[in-house]
Structure 1
Amino acid sequence: MGLKNFGLVPDDLVQRIRAKFLECVSADQEDSFYSEDIEKITNEDWYIKRFVIAAYKNETEALDKLVDTMKWRKSIKLRETADNYFPADYYDVGVMFPYEADVHGDASLWVRVAAVRKFGEFTETGKRFMIHRLFKVDEAAGPQGYALVIDFTGAGTNAIQNLDLLHHFITTLHHRFPAGVNYCLNYQIPWILKTVWGAVQYWVPEKRRDIIQFSYRDDLFKYFHLSHVPSYLGGDCKRSWKDKPENCPTTFEFGLYELGLTEEVVTKTIADYEAFRDSQIVKLDQGEYC
């Protein structure tokens, strides 16, 4: 949840954790953290409060989570990864995208389960792409929080084979970006996935499951104005959910030069992706499952 959904986080607790964190950032450890993160923790209470919330106000646990996460951010090059680091196909498939505000005026991040798919040697990059998108929305929203929409439109039994990717995303969200989501809206879950998704809810800690909500068909418009819903779901928004930055590499270039794969492996992966795109994504984009 965003900070606005929680009770008071004691200022003295925040100050103690801040002081102890800065002690950790000694001269020989400073390279383990981003200077931007050190500055934000020094000046912005939200960066500390979210981990206090995640640790249920346990000071030691909150500090450990904060330090570990800030080191993790540096280790995966979170801040230095440019939007156009990722291949254009990652944006074109529309697996995850920031979109218009909900009825409360809060930002939103959408996940299209039907577009979640593992592609061999590119799978880890796919995970990294999802975390990159999450980071951008989370950073911009700050303590205001944002809505997370998990859209099951068009998702069938194949989605079960890729639930581990969703698991990775949700656990990363909980542990590395705590207290940012105001609510998680699960939209259009097909009956065949209800039992599976019921188990998936246990990825979210019990005390946080009240943020999970469900919506079907016209219920979506209780959360988002029609003008803020993408057209593939019957909305009137003209903004593309596939917006991408300039100068993205092609999948072939990325696989060859960034991942160091052979031309044969990259070509096969691209063929698999194109078959998936043509059989699944095109129909999804055209609203055939709406």
Structure 2
Amino acid sequence: MTAASLPESLPRRVPVRKVLCLLPIALVVWVSLRHRSVLQEGFGQLRGAEWPWLAVAAAATCLTWVAAAFTRQGAVVERLPARRLLAAQFAAGAANHLLPTGLGAGAVNLRFMTVCGVPLPRASAALALYLLAESVSRVGLLAVLLLVFPDALRPGTLVPSDAVGPLLFAGAAAVCAVAAVLLLVRRVRTAVGSFLRTALGEARSVHVSPARAFALWGGALAFPVLQAAGLAAVGRALDVPVPPAHLAVAYLAATVAVALVPVPGGIGSVEAALIVTLVAAGSPAALATAAVLGYRIITVWLPLLPGALTLGALVRLRVI
């Protein structure tokens, strides 16, 4: 082999799939090292908790992957392989904590659906339908709980009154910017129109089948319910003096508030928002911090390495 031919042969020998298998594990190690102080404090808080309630929180966390699998299946007409779909949701959870919020899970599920034979435009439409159903269910559940428990959060503690104006202005500016792009850039307008037509067609096809519609909306509603139940269980384990329903309201309010923050898995932003909402619900700041750290240990950090290993295995097996 000559020196001239060496650079041409090297790229062919790079084990791309093996690198992709190991990449999630390397990212887990990197993220864990960056947040090692949070991990140490969180595990320290859990040592004095009531373990039966922690087991309930762990069970609720496991059921969230089942709920996600139901919702993903309900978003497409084709029948997806159930076991692989569930494994993909477990892996997507890990990917979602390693990439900006929503991108990791979206990429995993988009690849999974295309491997299962769903055309890319329809897979993208199914992904958008899933996000719509999950968002509507989460916001709707929060609205219902706030109507039933209007005193769950102390008014003015989440968004100061002097911050409402700037927030509304920022939201209006974002809407105007999107509208300007759609009006001025013909290619973007055409692409968006084509996607919307595909998405509407996919939504009509899904809702023709009662089983698919039930899986879509039932799973989308069960997902935030199970997440909120996990936080309520951790609160009981640590004797947080807040009713479980108020803890659920605090969780939903925090997750809705940080939904648009582009942080990997919401790490950092979710913790801060949860602590603020728990304090607004009436918890002492120390107990709120302990509950949030314990909850994130159970829902994020403990499944992170197994989820990364599952993601690597699915890549190696060409499931995604």
Q: TM (normalized to structure 2)?
A: 0.28
**Greater helix fraction, Structure 1 or Structure 2:** 2
Q: TM (normalized to structure 1)?
A: 0.30
Q: Which has the larger radius of gyration?
A: 2
Between the two structures, name the one with larger relative contact order (CA 8 Å, sep ≥ 6).
2
**Greater strand fraction, Structure 1 or Structure 2:** 1
